[in-house]
Amino acid sequence: MLQLAEILRRHWPDYQARFGSKIPASHRKAVAAILACRTPARGGQLYRCACGQFEFAYHSCGHRACPQCGQDDATAWVERQQTRLLPVPYFLVTFTVPEELRAIIRSHQRILYHRLFTESAGALGDVALSKLGI
């Protein structure tokens, strides 16, 4: 199976050349972490078994976007969340923004994602209240 790190090794240089400074710093950090994860760039540890065998393991990056590192954390989080679910039907609701706003939002993620989530939550609240006749 093709891993994300391999896809990034193949395509990141072209993507970076094309979009350069438009790539948010958080995305560049995530890619750097994923590319270095469990490679000589991060160093490693030599382990010795009681039987006398040695095994070397490279250090992981620990970044939440890394499929190798974040998967265990994500799985544990999902399991914790599932214990909190109520025995009722759930629905997925997706909010999108017009294409004309996407570049602005991408450039100002911290402020505009917060605003998008606040407005989305308000819209869901309005719909729920209208269904209850309130």
Same domain, 9 and 38: yes
Q: How confident is the model at residue 83 (pLDDT cuts 50, 70, 90)?
A: very high
Instruction: Report the share of the chain in percent with pLDDT over 70.
Output: 99
Whether 71 shows a pLDDT value over 80: the answer reads no
pTM of the model: 0.60
Count of beta carbons in the 10 Å neighbourhood of residue 70: 19
102: domain range? Answer: 84-134
Return d(Cα 10, Cα 100) in angstroms, integer: 30
User: For residue 122, is it within any domain?
Assistant: yes
Token pair, residue 54, equals: 């040695």
Q: Do residues 56 and 95 share a domain?
A: no
What is the distance between the alpha carbons of residues 115 and 87, in angstroms, rounded to a whole number?
A: 31
Quickly tell me which residue has 């760039």 as its tokens.
Answer: 41
Name the burial class of residue 61, with classes exposed (0-12), middle (13-18) and buried (19+) by CB atoms within 10 angstroms of its CB. buried
Give how many domains the chain has, as a whole number: 2
d(CA 115, CA 73): 27
- Is residue 77 domain-resident? no
Residue 78 lies in a domain: no
Residue 80 has pLDDT above 90, yes or no: yes
